[in-house]
Amino acid sequence: MNKLDKPCASCPWRREARATDIPNFDMALAKNLSATCPDGKGMGPDFGASVFACHQSKPGDEFACAGWLATVGHCHPRVRLAVSLKRLDAAALEPGKDWPALHDNYQQVLDKLRATGAAE
């Protein structure tokens, strides 16, 4: 499973990143990414759920968002499988010591995106 070593400058999981920092930001797409994260009760996602791709990856060649992996990636069944098969280092599931502050969950990310100029 490919990923960056740390969240990119415009990663939505970074507390200081704004919707306007994300190239080609689309609120509808952001809402759809909820399916890649646990719900408000901490349940999910389903095994068949897609992985939260980094917005810097290219269509057809997506790679996982480092901020998502470090925050809620451990909840995703396919991520856990990748770790067990040694296709992903378990260290990717925790923020590095020099990382920026990250949101605790995806609802916080969505709330911030709405508040920072995201058009619905």
Straight-line distance from the first to the last Cα atom of the chain, in angstroms, rounded to the nearest whole number: 31
The per-residue pLDDT for 87 is 94
pLDDT digits (tens, 9 = 90+) for 42-71: 899 999 999 999 988 888 999 999 999 999
Tokens of 51: 């992985």
pLDDT digits (tens, 9 = 90+) for 102-120: 999 999 999 999 999 745 5
The per-residue pLDDT for 2 is 72
> Nearest 5 degrees, angle CA 69-CA 72-CA 75?
105
The whole-number average pLDDT for the span 20-48 is: 92
Per DSSP, helices labelled H in the chain are 27-32, 66-72, 77-84, 106-115
